Structure 1
């Protein structure tokens, strides 16, 4: 074998090992709230990468160069109506942008509630989100980040998951697994991008509610997952983005959340664009909504220290 071929093979193996080391399993052994099934995870690429029927929830780690890092970190929850994950569109592409701002990013591949491998559908995404935030905080020194500067960002249904984490972080969703579960799951801030917030009729995104809660959810479950009802003074500082002409997830979701946050004295900023529709990611092709990324970075620097980890 020629030297050049051998060298190329070694480089390929090294790069493969490096990439694999950037994806970590959330659960070391048994995944809570799971059962054996013949279901297989599906990854499709049709313009964007869509992942469905998630079997093994993971965090994909994206770190800026050490000399560029500012100590902040974001766990990213891609959207997809709780039916798929728009994994690059609202996940890995966002992580790379955050790295360019000195922010560590962790893309959460969370279980989807209608998977045959899930026992209680509505619990699985939140269980994974809680574990993800704890995992990042527990390993803060390893990732060169501050334990009190770890937030969550979610898009559409991922925004619902992020806001559920921000309003339900103290709840016991699974039996403690290891030392990671000794740290807090409270995000230090939330960024909710065209988010589903409420599960109430006339406000919610019907597909997201159906996938999370089923066809005929009880009033109790609807209220439990309507996160505008769960805001308290301890809810993390929150940044909200929405478009008025969003025909998939009504802008009322962000408006209700903003009102609840302000009523409880939570440090909050919201931007409502007149046009932009839904699912615009960076918004490069949608009027002027692409300014949200600059607005978010400015807001991140404005959060008062008193709103750090409680």
Structure 2
């Protein structure tokens, strides 16, 4: 059977269910964006893959008020900074979070591989910072505690999450409105089989190439090697990885955990012997599938 492929230029106006909404990130001009003939593409073949993102958005899943905990998690799907595994590492997790009383917000962020992007290395972080500020601005409306908003990222989305967690104060775009006065710092973060380092030994080559280009300077490599950017103000972090991950070596999580320990940042890490890369909910392995229980338990123990 041929995959179901369709192109969409107005995904930001789509509403999936009555309680879920899709909001554009940028009220005015999208920073570091130029007009091109590129069209956003969505391919649905087992996994919903979005590429060539033109209009970055957040898709908001809110739990029933009766069970709402006040927590919220922004979700950054992975895909090597070339595509977004939008349901596998996005909406599936938003639905899981809702069942636990937690708001789940999927971020459809721009990809540096798009020819509509200028200063390509900046665009994912621009969208991530704006997404955090936008969610924080909606806290009262969405029954969310503005001091209990975290993030989760997978693979390259884990690199973006760890970049937001360590570069949240970096001025990467000009302020557009009062929302941009709010903090972009996550209150906690979860990194699932994340790309952390841009150093050649342990990085994921595709993510590095898409984000930084073919021959990045050492300064750029160091800047986006997030194990080098951890400080005492880095948010508490939960890490999960599989030892047999051949795409993104487990050393990425180990490096970040060591940096967190050095800066005395609260951290929890789960390393599974098997699981490979991109296991998401891990439902194919009963042992691996327990990681989401550990994650939800960790979040429930955090104090805003």
In structure 2, C-alpha distance between the alignment counterparts of 1:86 and 1:17, rounded to whole Å = 17
Cα distance, 1:205 vs. partner?
0.4
State whether residues 213 and 221 of structure 1, in contact with CA within 8 Å, keep that contact through their aligned partners in structure 2.
Answer: yes
- Structure 2 residue runs of 5 or longer lacking an equivalent are 1-13
Instruction: Report the equivalent of 1:131.
Output: 130
Q: Call closer, same or farther: CA 1:117–1:65 in 2, change over 3 Å.
A: same
Instruction: Report the equivalent of 2:170.
Output: 171
TM-score by length of 1: 0.92
Cα distance, 1:298 vs. partner?
1.1
Q: Call closer, same or farther: CA 1:19–1:121 in 2, change over 3 Å.
A: farther
State whether residues 110 and 123 of structure 2, in contact with CA within 8 Å, keep that contact through their aligned partners in structure 1.
Answer: yes
Cα distance, 1:17 vs. partner?
8.5
Q: Which moved more, 1:18-27 or 1:151-160?
A: 18-27
State the Cα deviation string for residues 146-199 of structure 1 (Å, max 9, x = none).
Answer: 010000100000000000000000010100010110110000000000100000
State whether residues 275 and 287 of structure 1, in contact with CA within 8 Å, keep that contact through their aligned partners in structure 2.
Answer: no
State whether residues 272 and 288 of structure 2, in contact with CA within 8 Å, keep that contact through their aligned partners in structure 1.
Answer: yes
Cα distance, 1:302 vs. partner?
2.2
State whether residues 194 and 249 of structure 1, in contact with CA within 8 Å, keep that contact through their aligned partners in structure 2.
Answer: yes
Count of residues paired in the alignment? 291
Instruction: Report the equivalent of 2:272.
Output: 273
State the Cα deviation string for residues 118-156 of structure 1 (Å, max 9, x = none).
Answer: 011100000000000000011100110001000010000
In structure 2, C-alpha distance between the alignment counterparts of 1:257 and 1:287, rounded to whole Å = 27
Q: What is the DSSP-based 3-state SS (H/G/I as helix, E as strand, rest coil) of the residue aligned with 2:187?
A: coil
| 1:100-115 map, 5 Å | 100-115=99-114
In structure 2, C-alpha distance between the alignment counterparts of 1:71 and 1:16, rounded to whole Å = 23
- Within the alignment, does 1:187 sit opposite 2:166 as a pair? no
State whether residues 82 and 113 of structure 1, in contact with CA within 8 Å, keep that contact through their aligned partners in structure 2.
Answer: yes
Instruction: Report the equivalent of 2:9.
Output: none
TM-score by length of 2: 0.93
Cα distance, 1:281 vs. partner?
0.6
In structure 2, C-alpha distance between the alignment counterparts of 1:21 and 1:92, rounded to whole Å = 11
- Within the alignment, does 1:26 sit opposite 2:25 as a pair? yes
Q: What is the DSSP-based 3-state SS (H/G/I as helix, E as strand, rest coil) of the residue aligned with 2:195?
A: coil
Q: What is the DSSP-based 3-state SS (H/G/I as helix, E as strand, rest coil) of the residue aligned with 1:22?
A: strand
| 1:84-95 map, 5 Å | 84-95=83-94
In structure 2, C-alpha distance between the alignment counterparts of 1:19 and 1:122, rounded to whole Å = 35
State whether residues 162 and 190 of structure 1, in contact with CA within 8 Å, keep that contact through their aligned partners in structure 2.
Answer: yes
In structure 2, C-alpha distance between the alignment counterparts of 1:38 and 1:16, rounded to whole Å = 26
RMSD between aligned residues = 1.4
In structure 2, C-alpha distance between the alignment counterparts of 1:91 and 1:34, rounded to whole Å = 24
Instruction: Report the equivalent of 1:201.
Output: 200
State whether residues 89 and 280 of structure 2, in contact with CA within 8 Å, keep that contact through their aligned partners in structure 1.
Answer: yes
In structure 1, C-alpha distance between the alignment counterparts of 2:150 and 2:44, rounded to whole Å = 28
Q: What is the DSSP-based 3-state SS (H/G/I as helix, E as strand, rest coil) of the residue aligned with 2:120?
A: coil
Instruction: Report the equivalent of 2:144.
Output: 145
State whether residues 19 and 62 of structure 2, in contact with CA within 8 Å, keep that contact through their aligned partners in structure 1.
Answer: no
State whether residues 240 and 271 of structure 2, in contact with CA within 8 Å, keep that contact through their aligned partners in structure 1.
Answer: yes
Instruction: Report the equivalent of 2:67.
Output: 68
- Structure 1 residue runs of 5 or longer lacking an equivalent are 1-14
Q: What is the DSSP-based 3-state SS (H/G/I as helix, E as strand, rest coil) of the residue aligned with 2:173?
A: coil
* Richer in helix (by share): 1
Q: Call closer, same or farther: CA 1:16–1:27 in 2, change over 3 Å.
A: closer
Q: What is the DSSP-based 3-state SS (H/G/I as helix, E as strand, rest coil) of the residue aligned with 1:284?
A: coil
Cα distance, 1:286 vs. partner?
3.5
State whether residues 15 and 22 of structure 2, in contact with CA within 8 Å, keep that contact through their aligned partners in structure 1.
Answer: no
In structure 1, C-alpha distance between the alignment counterparts of 2:261 and 2:100, rounded to whole Å = 28
Q: Between Structure 1 and Structure 2, whose CA radius of gyration is higher?
A: 1
- Within the alignment, does 1:228 sit opposite 2:221 as a pair? no
- Within the alignment, does 1:77 sit opposite 2:76 as a pair? yes
State whether residues 133 and 183 of structure 2, in contact with CA within 8 Å, keep that contact through their aligned partners in structure 1.
Answer: yes
